[in-house]
Amino acid sequence: MSSTPPRIGLIPFRWRGPGALGWTALATAALIAAPILVVIGYVFQPGENSLEHLFGTVLPEYIGTTLLLMLGVAAGVISIGVVSAWLVTAYRFPGQRVLEWALVLPLAMPAYVMAYAYTDWLQFAGPVQTWLRELTGWRAGEYWFPEIRSLYGAAAMFSFALYPYVYLLARTAFLEQSRSAIEAARLAGYGAFGCFFRVALPLARPAIAAGAALALMETLADFGTVSYFAVQTFTTGIFRAWLSYGDIVGAAQLATCMLVFVFVLLWLERHHRGAARYQAGGSRRPLPPRPLHGARAALAMLACAAPVVLGFFLPAGILVELAISEPEAVWTERVYALASNSFTLAGVTAFAAVLLAVLLAYAARLSKHPAVHFANRMAGLGYAIPGAVIAIGILIPLARLDNLMADWIEHTLGIDIGLFFTGTIIALVYAYLVRYLAVALQTVEAGLAKITPSMDDAARSLGLGPGRTLRRVHAPMLWSSMLTAGLLVFVDVMKELPATFALRPFNFDTLAIEAYNLTKDERLAEAALPALFIVAVGLLPLIVLSRRMVRNRD
């Protein structure tokens, strides 16, 4: 009796896609990456100025100036941020409790606003040089005074405005360091300087590198400061090629060269972050601060107070004095319209950014598909891309799309609709989302990570689908994170200048554009009011941040 062997059927292959939310994440990542790909695609396009011509003319100057500026800013932010973070963490001295949160205040002062204030204060007709001439009897040409509108002046402005990035991350690293490592160093005979240079500083190196990378990316992205100080960096070169010479291909090629700097910074930061896994183990309780007395306490207080005064209180005081003393610097209907434009752009962008961030973070929580997680990382890349590069990458395809739509509608319907995308705030909001979606995404992801997966399981057992779970369970618990994310994006949009300068519709200015235009015409007193308004709005997230710092300390 023969038996027929059982047939082994093939198991049908079922491709599990990323799902509806996953596809939303992939589409969002594609939109974020599109401007970058457009800019890179113009590297070998023929234009009025070829890449070889740029290499032989302006490019060496842009590279050299940008490198010098970045070196100066790196030295400034690292020295100020690390020293102040170590002093307020490791020692106790008069004013230490106030200074540990006051040291973040310069984040509310954009570098270009600080540049306007210091220019009025330090220029030949300003109060400092006037007082010096009255005191000494010197006349013009009889003494030397440092020129604020220079490469070194720009590096100083960026250092005082951006050192809080290093300070915040370095302070967190110092607080989380192994207590046993510091105590072992002291038992080995190291003093205060030895513990700092041999133990604390090497362990905090990844955090310091991350903070310095953020500060340098902000330096690369700046337009207002370098343009006002006539410092020839990649950003000023891009706008000169684009707006002055009308060479969009040359501007895109310069933007591509600028991206090389960005990617090198990102690689260096990742390389240093890899050292974080070698941090020493042991007790994570923070080491009790050592009290300082006498001259040491005075020096520590002076070292921590100087960045706050020079980076916030002094420029803010200069702007307040200008606004009070100048009768033209008043709240007029134009200033009200500018504030309304700024608030509209910031509000719409903040709402859209929070909505997209929630969808992206929730898609990554539900889906284990690698493409979804890769999409989230791509969506977070935009923060590293300067606004001038984003503006180039957005304007080129949108202008072509506008022309194709206008030609088709006019040919089909006989209606001239003009520019639909590039002539409205749509292009601006798109640029802001590319630049600042990462800020909202990181904040929302941090809040969502605090919600335990058991809550998702409980909601599923009660018959709730993913949408109802997000709406009824996660959204109420994410409210604080979403509010913080929206506030951070709102303030960033209020301060943003390069993309706004390039993509704003006609007769549609913001407070940042008004301050830039007035200072460009040397009307510093009239620029004081819009600049102060930007600073006041920037204080809002810092108040939230300082309250959290105080809670964490207590």
Nearest to 68 by CA among 127, 171, 153, 168: 153
pLDDT digits (tens, 9 = 90+) for 251-288: 777 888 888 888 888 777 777 665 454 444 444 556 67
Distance CA 270, CA 204 (A): 14
Q: Tell me the β-bridge partners of 290.
A: 91
Backbone angles phi, psi at 290, to 5 degrees: -90, 130
Q: What are phi and psi of 259, to 5 degrees?
A: -65, -30
Cβ contact 234:261 at 8 Å? yes
Identify whether the C-beta of residue 77 lies closer than 8 Å to the C-beta of residue 159. Answer: yes
Supply 494's token pair.
């209020």
Residues 119-165 have pLDDT tens digits of 989 888 888 888 888 888 888 777 888 888 899 999 999 999 999 98
Give the H/E segment covering residue 122. helix 111-122
Give the single-character DSSP code of 150: S
- Concatenate the DSSP letters of all residues of 219-254 into one string: HHH--HHHHHTT---HHHHHHIIIIIS--HHHHHHH
The helix/strand/coil state of 497 is coil
Residue 321: CB atoms within 10 Å: 16
pTM reported for the whole predicted model: 0.81
- The per-residue pLDDT for 370 is 78
Which of 78, 290, 104, 23 is closest to 182 using CA atoms? 290
- Largest pairwise CA distance in the chain: 124
Helices 59-90 and 151-176, axial angle in degrees (round to 10): 40
Would you state the pLDDT for residue 28? 80
| Degrees to nearest 5, angle at CA 182 with 181 and 184 | 65
Instruction: List, in order of start, the domains of the chain with CATH numbers.
Output: 19-41+329-554 (1.10.3720.10), 58-321 (1.10.3720.10)
pLDDT at residue 552 in the model: 57
Look up tokens 């959204």; give the residue: 475
pLDDT of residue 327: 64
Q: Which of 446, 540, 527, 445 is nearest to 492 (CA)?
A: 540
Rounded to 10 degrees, the C-alpha dihedral 292/297/300/301 comes to 130
SS (H, E, C) 392-411: HHHHHHHHHHHHHHHHHHHH
Report, as ranges of residue numbers, the positions in the chain whose pLDDT lies below 50. 1-2, 7-15, 275, 277-283
Distance CA 517, CA 533 (A): 16
Q: Which of 151, 175, 272 is nearest to 214 (CA)?
A: 272
Q: Which residues pair with 291 in a beta bridge?
A: 92
DSSP-derived letter for residue 12 is P
**3 state DSSP class of 213:** helix
**525: closest CA among 256, 276, 324?**
324
Asked if residues 357 and 443 have their Cβ atoms less than 8 Å apart, the reply is: yes
**Which conformational region is residue 146 in: left (phi greater than 0), alpha (psi within -120 to 50 degrees), or beta?**
beta
Cβ(276)–Cβ(81) under 8 Å?
Answer: no
SS3 92: strand
CB 56 within 8 A of CB 143: no
Tokens 């996953």: give the residue.
22
What are the DSSP calls for 414-469, one per residue? Answer: ------SSTTSTHHHHHHHHHHHHHHHHHHHHHHHHTS-HHHHHHHHHTT--HHHH
DSSP-based helix, strand, coil % in the chain, nearest 5: 75, 0, 25
Q: Which two tokens stand for residue 103?
A: 């040291």
DSSP state of 24: H
